[in-house]
Amino acid sequence: MAEANPILIVENASCRFDVSGPWLQRIATGAPRRELKAVNQVSFSVPRGATFSIVGESGCGKTTLARMIVGLQPPTAGSVRFGEIRRADGTVGPPRVQMIFQDPYASLNPRWRVGDIVAEPIRELKLRATEAETAARVAELLVTVGLSAADADRYPHAFSGGQRQRISIARALATEADVLVCDEPTSALDVSVQAQILNLMVRLQKKLDLTYILISHNLSVVRHMSDQLAIMYLGRIVEIGDADTIFNGPLHPYTRLLLDTIPDVESPNRARAPLSGEVPSPINPPPGCAFHPRCPMAEAACSRTVPELMPRPRRSVACLVLENSEGAADAQISRSTPSA
C-alpha cells in the first residue's frame, strides 16, 4: 500500500505496558517483571481522504493504537508520523488529528453548555479572533452536523445518544481536523441512529476531505465505510489491504472466521464455524503465531515461528500456512464454505 503522499505513516509502532506488581512485592515473591504488548510492531500508511478501518476482537490493541495515533499514548518503539498536507485555505503542514469517542454519554462534559463544548477547541487553539466569530463558527458547525444553532445554549443531558454523537463530531470538526480517529463511533447507538451517524460521517468526508481511522468490531459498519482494512489479533496486524478485496476473499484464517460471523440475510441458516476459544492474554501470548491455538489450519510450524506480513496482490497477510502452500493467492475460499 505504498501511497505517493500518505497523511499518516505508522512504522513498526509498538506499545508495551509494564504490568508487574509493586517492586516490594516483586522482590518478596521473586515474581518476574511482566509486560503487556498491547500493540506489537504495527506498520501501515493511510492516504488522504481514505477510510482506514482497524478490526479485531476486544483486547486486540485497537484502542491503544487509536490513542497512539492521537498522541495520548507515546509508542514505546517505532513511530507514528504525519505527512504534510495542503489545506483548503492554502496552508501547508501536518494534519490536525481529533478523536470521536465510543460513549456519547461520557464524551461531553455534563456541566458545560453545548456551545462551550464545541467552542473549547476554537478557544484553546485560538482559531478565531473574537468571541462573536467563535459563536458564529459554533453555530455553523452545529448546523453542519445536523443540529440547530439554538442548541448551543442547552446542556448535553437534553440530547439523545445520536445527537450527542453529532455534538462530538462538531467538537472534533471545530479543531479544523483533517484526520478523525473514530473509536467505535456507533456501537453505543440504536441501529437506526447508527445509520444516520455513518451517513453524516460519509457526507462530511466528501465535503471536508477528511481521513478516517475507523476502529470497530462491527463488520457491517466497516464494510459500509472502509477503503482499506487492517485486521488485528493480539496486538499484531494479521491481514491488511484493500477493504473490498479482503471482504470478498479473506485469506488469513482469522479473517475468514471473523467475516464468517457477519449475519447474511441471503442465507440465514448457512453452516458457520463459530470462532471457538478466547483471545489469549497479551501478557503471555502463545509462541509462534498468536492465533495458532484457535486456528483450524494450524500446522506444527505455527507454534514456533512468528509469521511476517507477506505482500500479495492488493493486500498483505501474515500466515505461515498460506506462505508454505504455493499459489495460495488463488486459493480464495468463498466465505460461505468455511474450511475444515
Chain residues in the site for other proteins (CB under 8 A): 70-72, 97-99, 101-103, 106-111, 117, 120-121, 124-125, 168, 171-172, 175
**CA 244 to each of CA 228, 229, 331: distance values in angstroms, whole numbers, following the listed order:** 8, 9, 17
End-to-end CA distance of the chain: 31
Alpha-carbon gap, residue 153 to 112, rounded angstroms:
9
**Shortest spacing between CB 168 and other proteins, in angstroms:** 8
> Closer to other proteins at the Cβ: 48 or 96?
96
Question: By C-beta, is 120 or 244 nearer to other proteins?
Answer: 120
CB of 70 to other proteins, least distance (A): 5
Q: Compute the least distance from the CB of residue 208 to other proteins, in Å.
A: 18
If the CB atoms of residues 172 and 214 are measured against other proteins, the closer one turns out to be 172
Measured from the CB atom, is 111 or 206 closer to other proteins? 111
CB of 232 to other proteins, least distance (A): 21
Identify whether the C-beta of residue 103 lies closer than 8 Å to the C-beta of residue 31: no
Minimum CB separation of residue 99 from other proteins in Å reads 6
Please give the grid coordinates belonging to residue 120.
473549547
Query: Least separation, in Å, of the C-beta of 141 and other proteins?
Result: 15
Three-state DSSP state, 53: strand
Given the complex with other proteins, which of 180 and 322 has the nearer CB atom? 180
Q: What angle do CA 16, 19, 25 make, to 5 degrees?
A: 150
**Residue 90 vs 110, nearer CB to other proteins:** 110
Length of the chain: 340
- Shortest approach of other proteins to residue 111 CB, angstroms? 4
DSSP string, 79-129: EEEE--EE-TTS-EEPPPEEEE-S-TTTSS-TTS-HHHHHHHHHHHTT-SS
Q: Hey, what amino acid is at 176?
A: E
Strands of the sheet containing 179-183, edge to edge, are 97-100, 179-183, 211-216, 51-55, 228-233, 236-242, 315-317, 310-312
Using the Cα atoms of residue 37, residue 40, residue 46 and residue 52 in order, give the sign of their dihedral.
negative
Distance, in Å, from the CA atom of 235 to the CA atom of 210, rounded to the nearest integer, reads 26
Helix H or strand E segment including 162: helix 161-174
Task: With CA atoms as reference, report the closest residue to 275 among 298, 294, 300.
Answer: 294
How far apart are CB 162 and other proteins at their closest, in Å? 16
Return the number of the residue (22 or 90) whose C-beta is nearest other proteins.
22
Looking at the Cβ atoms of 99 and 302, the one nearer to other proteins is 99
